[in-house]
């Protein structure tokens, strides 16, 4: 009972991270897939392949239980899942090392991870992936611990297979934890010293639980026949469900859309640089702790015993314990190599700051394994502190009962973690990062009634405007079209079902935005673009309308002169809800790219004035543009 009491204190101590995650949670959608998940949860729809049905159902449940906006509900869900991840890391280290302080500090180091903290504040799916990785480690340890009974091992095996099934309904990168699966299969079903009796039955039951864990995918089949705008496609048959699961729209074994001009190992190297940096994933010297753990694993002779000196030659059980500990830690190390160093080879993204920002979403999983290695390092440091204390007490009996060295180590670790929180706060917090929604609201607010708006380049804005229209019901009169999605038949069908006047001849290989612009122009509808995205579009007469470009429909009169356009822009920009401060280009490249759209009309006017040799007007427009360039 006393041991459980101490574990309860540790969980309560980790609740500080829950409060911190809730405090720094996002108030609106963030870059990448955040807006899509918000829309899907609000309307019980389908997310992009592989569908994320478990996360969607958890989000729907959170939205029903938390009487607030869907954004807040998913931010709270992400915080709770990340808190559960820290508890899982604590439990894994506690069972492996049998040292409460080492386990607690290891979980706290995980809490300072930039990638874990960011996803703890985002309404997005990665927090659940970290939760599964941590708790799969827990049940692998329970299943292989030679000190546990056969019944406990069986239950741990059943729990592991069920979690693997559930994790497979969430994110395919859970396969990067395969080394732990190999270890548990070998230990329970192959190794003659540790394998279970009635292995066939246990293997069959485990496989049945794995299949049961896949049942959340039936959700996609249930709701897939009645999807609307904001939901990814329709799923009416098991074949369509299977294709969605395999991500055939993207390519099953592909993660990036563009080939990088850099070497294949570029993102792996960038991740390693961030992982060891003083201001990287584990700030303020905390990265040095997992490096100590890595060196300990690679060079030090085992066992990982606790404070007491143990002679492994006197007990076969103790030798089995040490072999088991070594195997578990090596499986963590192998999983880290797969997730952090080898998986980025599949990303095939470019080398820009934005590409690195996108690639960093996949570094939550390797950070969790580094935190586990850090916990092993802390246990080793405490072990050495206890040994040194015993030597001091033996030489100086008068200082017996003093715990100076272990206490000093605990104080140093507490200081490093506290400084890590302080230095990480502004990078990881999403509390005041509302740039994308601010831009989307400003954009919709300035458009005339029943206008057509086309977005060609940004995924977050595509789903962000859909979220504002479909969930928050802002400017539902605007016909918004995300051009990259027009290459998918289901998207064109959704628009045709929602808008009677929508006419578009679908083609999988050719997105005819010119035909769409011409059609709405003939209907007499205002046509707007967020950006002039190619040369064929620039052949139309476009004029700056504020944050968008408007098609000049009049064939009898020329477009308004630049001074008139400038006065119109000034009136519109006075009504914009500019957010301070602007995003940092190095740390927030995605929002920075969007915020710079505020400057585009002024830069276009400056170019026109430059051709007219009006240098004073050029300087005036460039000055106004600089206000929006971080």
> Residue 16: is its pLDDT beyond 60?
yes
Sign of CA pseudo-dihedral 559, 560, 563, 565: negative
Least confident of 339-348, 352-361, 588-597, 598-607: 352-361
- Grade residue 309 by pLDDT with cuts at 50, 70 and 90: very low
pLDDT at 273: 83
**Cα angle 518, 521, 522; round to 5:** 85
| Residues 6+ positions from 151 with CB-CB distance below 8 Å | none
Region 64-93 average pLDDT: 93
Region 495-518 average pLDDT: 86
pLDDT at 313: 47
Label residue 200 exposed, middle or buried (CB < 10 Å: 0-12, 13-18, 19+): exposed
Per the model's pLDDT, the better-predicted residue between 585 and 351 turns out to be 585
- Other CB atoms within a 10 A radius of the CB of residue 241 amount to 18
* pLDDT per residue as tens digits for the range 252-265: 666 655 556 667 77
> Residue 427: is its pLDDT beyond 80?
yes
Instruction: Give the span between the Cα atoms of 612 and 605, in whole angstroms.
Output: 11
Region 115-133 average pLDDT: 92
DSSP, collapsed to helix, strand or coil, labels residue 454 as: strand
- Grade residue 306 by pLDDT with cuts at 50, 70 and 90: very low
pLDDT at 557: 77
Per the model's pLDDT, the better-predicted residue between 160 and 267 turns out to be 160
pTM: 0.91
**Cα angle 578, 581, 585; round to 5:** 105
DSSP, collapsed to helix, strand or coil, labels residue 213 as: helix
Angle between helices 114-121 and 100-111 (to 10 degrees): 70
Listed residue (207, 215, 157) closest to 184, CA to CA: 157
> Residue 537: is its pLDDT beyond 50?
yes
Region 457-484 average pLDDT: 91
Beta-bridged to residue 454, according to DSSP, are: 481, 529
- Would you mind telling me the total number of residues written for the chain in this entry? 630
Contacts of range 194-197, beta carbons closer than 8 Å, 24 or more positions apart: 194/144, 194/146, 194/320, 196/150, 196/153, 196/154, 196/157, 197/150
Could you check whether the bond before residue 50 is cis, i.e. omega within 30 degrees of 0? yes
Region 274-295 average pLDDT: 84
> Residue 248: is its pLDDT beyond 90?
no
Give me the phi and psi of 454, to 5 degrees please: -115, 135
Instruction: Give the span between the Cα atoms of 93 and 89, in whole angstroms.
Output: 6
**Average pLDDT of every residue of the chain:** 86
Q: State percent of the chain over pLDDT 90.
A: 38
The DSSP 8-state label assigned to residue 542 in this structure reads E
Q: Where are the domains of the chain?
A: 2-428, 435-626
* pLDDT per residue as tens digits for the range 35-47: 999 999 999 999 9
What is the widest separation between alpha-carbon atoms in the chain? 103
* pLDDT per residue as tens digits for the range 22-33: 999 998 888 888
Beta-bridged to residue 21, according to DSSP, are: none
Q: State percent of the chain over pLDDT 70.
A: 91
pLDDT at 287: 86
pLDDT at 254: 65
* pLDDT per residue as tens digits for the range 156-201: 999 999 999 999 998 888 999 999 999 999 988 988 888 888 888 9
């Amino acid at each position: 009972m006393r041991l459980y009491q101490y574990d309860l204190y540790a969980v309560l101590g980790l609740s500080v991270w829950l409060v911190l995650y809730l405090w720094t949670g996002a108030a609106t959608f963030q870059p990448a897939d955040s807006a899509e998940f918000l829309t899907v949860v609000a309307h019980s729809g389908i997310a992009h392949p592989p569908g994320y049905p478990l996360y969607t159902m958890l989000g729907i449940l959170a939205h029903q239980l938390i009487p607030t906006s869907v954004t807040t509900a998913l931010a709270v869900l992400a915080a709770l899942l990340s808190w559960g991840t820290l508890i899982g890391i604590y439990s894994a280290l506690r069972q492996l090392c049998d040292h409460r302080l080492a386990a607690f500090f290891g979980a706290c180091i995980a809490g300072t991870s930039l990638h874990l903290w960011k996803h703890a504040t985002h309404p997005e799916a990665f927090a659940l992936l970290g939760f599964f990785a941590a708790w799969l480690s827990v049940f692998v340890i329970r299943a292989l611990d030679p000190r546990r009974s056969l019944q406990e091992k069986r239950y741990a095996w059943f729990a592991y297979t069920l979690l693997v099934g559930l994790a497979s309904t969430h994110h395919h990168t859970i396969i990067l934890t395969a080394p732990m699966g190999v270890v548990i299969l070998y230990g329970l079903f192959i190794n003659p010293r540790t394998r279970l009796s009635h292995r066939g039955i246990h293997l069959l039951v485990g496989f049945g639980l794995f299949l049961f864990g896949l049942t959340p995918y039936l959700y996609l089949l249930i709701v897939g026949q009645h999807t609307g705008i904001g939901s990814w496609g329709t799923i009416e048959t098991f074949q369509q469900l299977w294709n969605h699961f395999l991500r055939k729209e993207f390519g099953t074994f592909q993660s990036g859309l563009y080939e990088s001009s850099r070497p294949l190992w570029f993102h792996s190297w960038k991740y390693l640089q961030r992982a060891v940096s003083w201001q990287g994933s584990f700030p303020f010297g905390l990265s040095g702790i997992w490096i100590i753990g890595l060196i300990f694993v690679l060079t030090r002779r085992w066992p990982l015993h606790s404070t007491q000196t143990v002679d492994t030659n006197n007990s076969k059980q103790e030798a089995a314990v040490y072999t088991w500990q070594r195997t578990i830690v090596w499986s963590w190390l192998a999983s880290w190599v797969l997730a952090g160093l080898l998986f980025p080879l599949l990303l095939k993204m470019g080398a820009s700051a934005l590409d690195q920002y996108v690639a960093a979403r996949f570094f939550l999983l390797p950070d969790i394994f580094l935190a586990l290695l850090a916990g092993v390092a802390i246990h080793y440091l405490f072990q050495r502190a206890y040994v040194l204390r015993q030597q001091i007490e033996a030489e100086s009996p008068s200082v017996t009962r003093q715990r100076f060295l272990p206490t000093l180590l605990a104080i140093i670790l507490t200081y490093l973690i506290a400084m890590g929180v302080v230095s990480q706060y502004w990078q990881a917090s999403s509390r005041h990062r509302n740039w994308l929604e601010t831009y989307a609201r400003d954009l919709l607010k300035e458009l005339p009634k029943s206008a057509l708006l086309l977005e060609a380049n940004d995924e977050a804005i595509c789903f962000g405007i859909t979220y504002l229209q479909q969930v928050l019901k802002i400017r539902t009169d605007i016909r918004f079209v995300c051009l990259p999605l027009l290459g998918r038949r289901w998207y064109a069908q959704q628009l045709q079902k929602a808008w009677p006047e929508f006419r578009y001849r679908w083609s999988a290989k050719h997105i005819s935005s010119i035909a769409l612009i011409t059609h709405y122009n003939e209907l007499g509808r205002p046509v707007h673009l967020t950006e002039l995205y190619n040369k064929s579009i620039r052949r139309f007469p476009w004029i700056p309308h504020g944050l968008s470009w408007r098609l000049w429909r009049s064939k009898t009169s020329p477009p308004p002169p630049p001074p008139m356009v400038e006065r119109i822009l000034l009136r519109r920009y006075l009504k914009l809800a500019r957010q301070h401060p602007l995003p940092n280009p190095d740390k927030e490249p995605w929002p920075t790219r969007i915020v710079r759209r505020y400057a585009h009309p002024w830069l276009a006017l400056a170019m026109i004035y430059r051709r007219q040799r009006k240098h004073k007007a050029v300087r005036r427009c460039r000055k106004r543009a600089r206000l929006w360039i971080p």
